[in-house]
């Protein structure tokens, strides 16, 4: 009795965890740069929470996520009713798909983008219309041509994972102006805080009632393990999504930690700036070694090594370095590297060069 779309599916190939990698690697000096987590950790304010505050675990968490909701509303100067919270943005993607997609509807997305849009669309039985990236960026013009009266959702990942490329605000605005009002546009901004250019996408929410922006505490805020994601949209959209939200999506530690993390914007700023400096060194590395990489506005970089990535992965793993192979990301000769700490990045570049010199001379 299994749904037929489930039978065709493969389970999501997530980045290896530290434990999985440690089992395979011969060293215990692991450098985990495969899931775009913040290498600098998280705010010290959150560290105090974990040791000092007793949270009664027998009590259900606050279903309304009230305190964090207030803090975010004031940070962004939006109404509290314009937010929805989820167990990571992964869950919000699922909620959007579940409320809007079904057989007979279609959904438009880039063909090399975050895999959860497609996975959820398959599960909910919608037709998937994929549009190839253009130079690593969403081909917004072409995406518009795929929209018809049965299109329910268009996904735009900005900056895009796995390429790291960024669409400027004016391009998003022009795009929104051409989208029919029955289509929900989902703007996934998991890396928003890393963007190093003027970008105020939140302003678009006031102008477009069919836009939802997704953000997360998993990336620059360094709280991936606590699963706090959220959406910002007009009250009308939020209401529909709320109707299917599980009663208690965010645990109490996560809610407290996110509120505290939000107060420490100095940590966010320092993470962002260090990331820019370290990212620059990868650009230099790429140009010195004639390797293609896309310009990134995130804490990762997709480098085309023109080699057998599986072999490179095995070689790196034996040195305790875990990166994300491009094989499962639609870039079979590339590797996605999370930009880590200075000394980690030095080691990564060293090992990549070593592999290329020993295994890949032509």
Q: Which residues bind ligand PLP (CB under 6 A)?
A: 36, 88-90, 114, 157, 161, 188, 190, 216, 218, 224, 229
Residue 158 Cβ, how far from ligand PLP at the closest point, in Å? 9
User: Where do we find the tokens 């290498």?
Assistant: 39
Rank residues 126 and 226 by Cβ distance to ligand PLP and give the closer one. 226
Give me the residue label for tokens 């000394």: 343
* Nearer to ligand PLP among residue 214 and residue 321 (C-beta): 214
Task: Phi first, then psi: give them for residue 226, nearest 5 degrees.
Answer: -90, -5
Nearest residue to the partner ligand PLP, using Cβ: 88
Task: Give me the least distance between CB of 120 and ligand PLP, in Å please.
Answer: 12
Comparison of 90 and 313: residue with beta carbon closer to ligand PLP: 90
Closer to ligand PLP by CB, 122 or 224: give it: 224
CB 82 within 8 A of CB 205: yes
CB of 36 to ligand PLP, least distance (A): 6
In sequence order, what are the residues at sequence separation of 6 or more whose Cβ sits closer than 8 angstroms to the Cβ of residue 356? 289, 305, 307
- For residues 246 and 256, what is the distance between their CA atoms, to the nearest angstrom? 19
**What is the closest distance, in whole angstroms, from the C-beta atom of residue 70 to ligand PLP in the complex?**
20
- Of 110 and 260, CB closest to ligand PLP: 110
Residues 191 and 38: beta-carbon distance below 8 Å: no
Indicate the angle between helix axes 252-263 and 44-52, nearest 10 degrees. 140
Residue 72 Cα distances to 87, 133, 259, 284, 358, angstroms: 16, 33, 8, 37, 51
Closest contact distance (angstroms) between CB of 21 and ligand PLP is: 18
3-state secondary structure 168-179: CHHHHHHHHHCC
Helical H segments across 31-139, by residue range: 44-52, 66-76, 88-100, 115-123
Q: Are 124 and 102 in contact (CB under 8 A)?
A: yes
Strand partners, 303: 293, 335
Main-chain dihedrals φ then ψ at residue 283, nearest 5 degrees: -60, -45
Cβ nearer to ligand PLP, comparing 109 with 351: 109
Instruction: Give the three-class secondary structure for 154.
Output: strand
Q: Closest approach of Cβ 33 to ligand PLP, in Å?
A: 14
In whole angstroms, the minimum distance from the beta carbon of 190 to ligand PLP comes to 4
- To ligand PLP, the closest distance from the beta carbon of 210 in angstroms equals 20
In this complex, which beta carbon is closest to ligand PLP, that of residue 31 or of residue 213?
213
- In the complex with ligand PLP, which residue's Cβ is closer, 190 or 257? 190
The rounded distance, in Å, linking the Cα atoms of 317 and 22 is: 9
Tell me if residue 355 falls in helix, strand or coil.
helix
Q: Shortest Cβ distance from residue 15 to ligand PLP (Å)?
A: 10
Quick one: tokens of 272?
Answer: 């962002």
User: Nearer Cβ to ligand PLP, position 336 or 347?
Assistant: 336
């Amino acid at each position: 009795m299994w749904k037929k779309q489930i039978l065709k599916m493969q389970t999501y190939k997530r980045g290896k965890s530290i434990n999985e990698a440690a089992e395979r690697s011969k060293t215990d000096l692991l450098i985990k740069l495969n899931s775009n987590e913040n290498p600098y950790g998280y705010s010290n304010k959150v560290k105090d929470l974990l040791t000092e505050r007793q949270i009664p675990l027998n009590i259900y968490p606050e279903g309304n996520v009230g305190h964090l909701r207030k803090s975010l509303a004031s940070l962004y100067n939006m109404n509290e009713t314009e937010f929805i919270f989820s167990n990571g943005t992964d869950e919000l993607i699922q909620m959007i798909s579940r409320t809007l997609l079904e057989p007979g509807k279609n959904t438009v997305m880039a063909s090399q983008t975050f895999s959860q849009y497609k996975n959820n669309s398959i599960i909910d039985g919608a037709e998937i219309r994929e549009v190839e990236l253009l130079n690593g960026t969403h081909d917004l013009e072409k995406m518009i041509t795929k929209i018809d009266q049965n299109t329910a959702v268009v996904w735009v990942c900005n900056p895009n994972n796995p390429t790291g490329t960024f669409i400027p605000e004016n391009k998003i605005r022009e795009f929104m102006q051409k989208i029919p009002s029955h289509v929900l546009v989902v703007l996934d901004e998991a890396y928003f805080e890393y963007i190093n250019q003027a970008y105020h996408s939140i302003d678009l929410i006031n102008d477009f009632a069919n836009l939802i922006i997704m953000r997360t505490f998993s990336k620059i805020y360094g709280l991936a393990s606590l699963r706090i994601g959220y959406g910002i949209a007009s009250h009308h959209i939020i209401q529909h999504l709320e109707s299917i939200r599980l009663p208690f999506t965010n645990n109490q530690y996560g809610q407290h930690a996110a509120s505290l993390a939000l107060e420490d914007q100095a940590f966010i700023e320092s993470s962002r700036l260090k990331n820019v400096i370290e990212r620059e060194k990868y650009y230099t590395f790429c140009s010195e070694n004639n390797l293609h990489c896309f310009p990134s506005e995130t804490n990762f970089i997709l480098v085309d090594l023109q080699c057998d990535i599986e072999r490179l992965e095995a070689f790196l793993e034996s040195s305790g370095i875990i990166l994300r192979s491009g094989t499962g990301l639609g870039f079979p000769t590339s590797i996605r590297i999370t930009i880590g700490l200075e000394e980690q990045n030095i080691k990564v570049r060293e090992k990549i060069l070593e592999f290329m010199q020993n295994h890949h001379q032509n």
